[in-house]
């Protein structure tokens, strides 16, 4: 029979406005968790856990050591994801795990909490409540007037476009625990401060036929001339590089299990599917292909299929820096 213990984790220190450290100690193992403790719509919650076992520890056949991070609303789970083990440390009795869960763009004020479930083995499962707070965010609203070309793209319901959407979603909802390419802070993919649209914008698209539709903007747009160099925001593997109906020449890079960066409306691409790229490597030049009202780069980040504010990853999201 499994033994389930409910424990409130001891909060040791708040070391920045958006990050906290918590620690649990027992005779079987010690846990130290770093995580960003502010739940904000459109951001993510990342937790990095260090597990220290006794030096004389020996693995048994029921040795599992798995962990899960959950976000709850009034005790109901609304987001969950497993931790994955990071490359081995120098100490044989120490290992690290990382997990990220998205925070919905539609999240509103409420009673939210974070729960960490750690299984040392099948008979030792503990639950920890991680202290957290909620912070609201405002988003812009805009109306975009589309010409005939962009109206045709936006209203395209062809099987080809549906197949392209399905292919991309299948990629973005894929999480492979062994695919760990980048733990570093991301860098902006372009040398420009001129932004023409922002993550989370509430958009109304006005068509030339008098009709309209609404949608969210899932990335940041940089208004730059066609041919501007575009760089990989972090180390990773190119999992898509192709021309799509709505986003034009597009590149998708996998960085961590379930974590992807996307680059849309390119004029030309310098990489192909399967390429391994390094942070700052030239991958493309910007353009206005697909549904675009002018030359720009659309930069987007997805975690477990959900869009995350790109600037969130311009900080030490994986707690890699000391």
- For 3-43, what is each residue's pLDDT tens digit? 333 444 444 433 343 578 999 998 888 999 999 999 999 99
Residues 181 and 53 in one domain: no
Q: Which pLDDT value is given to residue 184? A: 95
Residue 57 confidence class, pLDDT cut points 50, 70, 90: low
Residues in the chain: 322
Query: Is 173 part of a structural domain of the chain?
Result: yes
Q: Which residues make Cβ contacts (< 8 Å) with residue 142, sequence separation at least 6?
A: 197, 201, 202, 203, 204
Residue 319, sorted as left (phi over 0), alpha (psi -120 to 50) or beta, turns out to be left
Q: How many CB atoms lie within 10 A of CB 61?
A: 6
Mean of all residue pLDDT scores within the chain: 90
Residue 74, sorted as left (phi over 0), alpha (psi -120 to 50) or beta, turns out to be left
Query: Is 319 part of a structural domain of the chain?
Result: no
Domain limit, last residue, from 81, 108, 134: 134
pTM of the complete model: 0.92
Q: Which pLDDT value is given to residue 58? A: 60
What CATH number should be reported for the domain holding residue 30?
A: 2.60.40.1930
* Cα distances (angstroms) measured from residue 183 to each of 107, 180, 315: 27, 8, 11
What CATH number should be reported for the domain holding residue 175?
A: 2.70.70.10
Residues 184 and 297 in one domain: yes
Residues 157 and 301 in one domain: yes
Residue 92 confidence class, pLDDT cut points 50, 70, 90: confident
Please compute the mean of the pLDDT values over residues 168-182 and round it to a whole number. Answer: 96
Q: Which pLDDT value is given to residue 87? A: 87
Task: Round to whole Å and give the CA distance between 276 and 82.
Answer: 25
pLDDT of residue 56 exceeding 50, the answer is yes
**Coil/strand/helix, residue 132:** coil
Query: Is 118 part of a structural domain of the chain?
Result: yes
Query: Is 321 part of a structural domain of the chain?
Result: no
Go through 217-228 and write b for each residue having 16 or more CB atoms within 10 A of its CB, e for each that does not: bbbbbbebebeb
Domain limit, last residue, from 111, 134, 157: 134
How many folded domains does the chain comprise? 2
Task: Round to whole Å and give the CA distance between 33 and 48.
Answer: 6
Q: What's the helix, strand, coil split of the chain in %, to 5?
A: 10, 50, 45
For 234-286, what is each residue's pLDDT tens digit? 999 999 999 999 999 999 999 999 999 999 999 999 999 999 999 999 999 99
Residues 93 and 199 in one domain: no
Q: Which pLDDT value is given to residue 235? A: 98
Please compute the mean of the pLDDT values over residues 283-297 and round it to a whole number. Answer: 97
Residues 201 and 282 in one domain: yes
* Cα distances (angstroms) measured from residue 224 to each of 22, 196, 200, 208, 265: 43, 9, 20, 26, 12
Q: Which pLDDT value is given to residue 244? A: 98
Domain limit, last residue, from 134, 155, 187: 134
Residue 75 main-chain phi, psi, to 5 deg: 70, 5
Q: How many CB atoms lie within 10 A of CB 256?
A: 25
Task: Round to whole Å and give the CA distance between 304 and 301.
Answer: 10
pLDDT of residue 88 exceeding 80, the answer is no
Query: Is 121 part of a structural domain of the chain?
Result: yes
**Coil/strand/helix, residue 169:** helix
Residues 129 and 147 in one domain: no
pLDDT of residue 225 exceeding 90, the answer is yes
Beta-strand relationship, 259-269 and 297-303: antiparallel
Residues 146 and 124 in one domain: no
Q: Which pLDDT value is given to residue 3? A: 34
Range of the domain at 244: 141-314
Q: Which pLDDT value is given to residue 18? A: 55
pLDDT of residue 64 exceeding 80, the answer is no
């Amino acid at each position: 029979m499994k033994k389930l213990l409910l424990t409130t984790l001891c909060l040791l220190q708040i070391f920045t406005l958006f990050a906290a450290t918590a620690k649990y100690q027992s005779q079987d193992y010690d846990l130290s968790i770093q995580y960003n403790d502010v739940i904000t719509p459109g951001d993510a919650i990342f937790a990095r856990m260090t597990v220290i076992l006794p030096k004389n520890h020996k693995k048994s056949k029921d040795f599992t050591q798995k962990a899960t991070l959950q976000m709850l609303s009034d005790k109901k789970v609304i987001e969950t994801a497993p931790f994955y083990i990071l490359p081995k440390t120098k100490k044989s009795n120490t290992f690290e795990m990382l997990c990220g869960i998205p925070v919905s763009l539609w999240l509103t004020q409420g009673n939210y909490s974070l729960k960490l479930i750690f299984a040392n083995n099948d008979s030792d499962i503990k639950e920890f409540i991680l202290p957290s707070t909620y912070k609201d965010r405002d988003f812009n609203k805009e109306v975009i007037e589309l010409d005939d070309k962009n109206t045709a793209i936006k209203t395209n319901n062809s099987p080809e476009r549906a197949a392209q959407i399905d292919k991309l979603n299948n990629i973005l909802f894929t999480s492979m625990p062994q695919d760990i390419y980048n733990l570093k802070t991301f860098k902006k993919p372009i040398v420009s401060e001129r932004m023409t649209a922002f993550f989370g914008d509430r958009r109304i698209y006005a068509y030339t036929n008098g009709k309209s539709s609404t949608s969210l903007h899932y990335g940041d747009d940089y208004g730059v001339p066609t041919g501007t160099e575009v760089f990989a925001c972090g180390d990773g593997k190119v999992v898509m590089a192709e021309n799509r109906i709505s986003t034009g020449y597009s590149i998708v890079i996998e960085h961590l299990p379930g974590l992807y960066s996307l680059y849309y409306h390119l004029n030309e691409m310098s990489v192909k599917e399967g390429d391994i790229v390094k942070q700052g490597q030239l991958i493309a030049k910007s353009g206005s292909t697909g549904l675009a009202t002018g030359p720009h780069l659309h930069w987007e980040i997805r975690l477990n299929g959900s869009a995350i504010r790109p600037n969130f990853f311009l900080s030490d999201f994986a707690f890699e820096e000391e």
